[in-house]
Amino acid sequence: QLQLQESGPGLVKPSETLSLTCSVSGDSIRSANYFWGWIRQPPGKGLEWIGNIYYTGTTYYNPSLESRVTMSVDTSQNHFSLRLSSVTASDTGVYYCARSNNAGWFVSWGQGTLVTVSS
Amino acid sequence: EIVMTQSPDTLSVSPGERATLSCRASQSVSSNLAWYQQKPGQAPRLLISGGSTRATGIPARFSGSGSGTEFTLTISSLQSEDFAVYYCQQYISWPPLTFGGGTKVEVK
C-alpha cells in the first residue's frame, strides 16, 4: 500500500526558503507512468497545484510559482522534495505531496503538513 | 490557464436527500475531469476521474456526468459521512493543473 509522508519545518521566516520532503513507501518512486506532485491549501481556502516531477527529474511547475519553485527527486532515498524561495505570509498553508498518473489526477495523497510563514 | 468554477459555494442538504454539485471549465476539457472529497483535517480523496469513472472503493451513490465545459457530481442519497467539501480538477491541459474553488456540502 502506497504511503506518502511530508516532513519539514513548520515555521519559516519571510523572505527565506521553504523546504519540504515527501517520503514514499510501499512502492518505488521509479514506478513508470506516475508523477509525484505538491499541492497546497491556504487556511480555509481551496487547492493550488504547485508542480509535478517524474523520477527522471523532469519537472512541470505552476507558472504562477515557477520563478520560486524547485522540485527534486532522490531515487536512492525514495523521496522527492520541494523548495519555495522568498516566501511571504501568503505562502502559509497545508502542503500535500501526492502521486498522480500520467494524465494528471491524484490518487494517493500524504496527510499534509502545515507551514506557517511568520517572523 | 483553464479556470474551473464550482457552484454553489455551499449546499445545504438533509441526510438521505440528493445533492447536485456543478463544475464549469473556462474552455473545453473533454472528459478530463476529476472530483475529490475533502473532510476537515484530511487530505482530499479521489472520487471520480474521466468525468464519470468512480475510483476504487467509492460507493455507487456518487456519480459524475458531463463533458466539455459543464460537469455535475451527484450524491444520490446523502449519508452522514458525505458532508464535506468537494473539488473538481481539470487535467486536459497542464501545466497548470487547476482546481475549482470547492463546494461545501453541509447539513440542512
Residue A63: is the preceding peptide bond cis (ω within 30°)?
A: no
Q: In 3D, which of A19, A50, A29 has the Cα closest to residue A59?
A: A50
Q: Looking at CA atoms only, how far is residue B10 from chain A in angstroms?
A: 13
Q: Looking at CA atoms only, how far is residue A70 from chain B in angstroms?
A: 15
Q: Which residue has the cell 512541470?
A: A60
Kindly identify which residue of chain B lies nearest to residue A40, measuring between CA atoms.
Answer: B43
For residue B18, the model assigns a pLDDT of: 97
Instruction: Pick the residue of B97, B98, B103, B104 with the most A CBs within 10 A to test the interface with A by mutation.
Output: B97
Chain A contacts of B94, Cβ < 8 Å?
Answer: 49, 60, 104
- The residues with which B36 forms a beta bridge, in sequence order, are B46, B87
For residue B92, the model assigns a pLDDT of: 97
The answer to whether B34 contacts chain A (CB < 8 Å) is yes
Task: Quote the strand ranges of chain A, DSSP E.
Answer: 3-7, 11-12, 18-25, 34-41, 48-53, 59-61, 69-74, 79-84, 93-101, 106-109, 113-117
Per residue of chain A (119 residues), what is the pLDDT tens digit?
999 999 999 999 999 999 999 999 999 999 888 999 999 999 999 999 999 999 999 999 999 999 999 999 999 999 999 999 999 999 999 999 999 999 999 999 999 999 999 99
Chain B contacts of A51, Cβ < 8 Å?
Answer: 95
Task: Give pLDDT tens digits for B21-57.
Answer: 999 999 999 999 999 999 999 999 999 999 999 999 9
**CB atoms B91 and A51 under 8 Å:** no
For residue B9, the model assigns a pLDDT of: 98
For residue A32, the model assigns a pLDDT of: 85
- The residues with which B7 forms a beta bridge, in sequence order, are B22
Q: Looking at CA atoms only, how far is residue B85 from chain A in angstroms?
A: 9
Chain B contacts of A52, Cβ < 8 Å?
Answer: 95, 97
Chain A contacts of B44, Cβ < 8 Å?
Answer: 47, 96, 106, 109
Task: Give pLDDT tens digits for B69-94.
Answer: 999 999 999 999 999 999 999 999 99
**CB atoms B49 and A105 under 8 Å:** yes
Report the alpha-carbon distance of residue A72 to residue A88 in Å, rounded: 22
**CB atoms A103 and B100 under 8 Å:** no
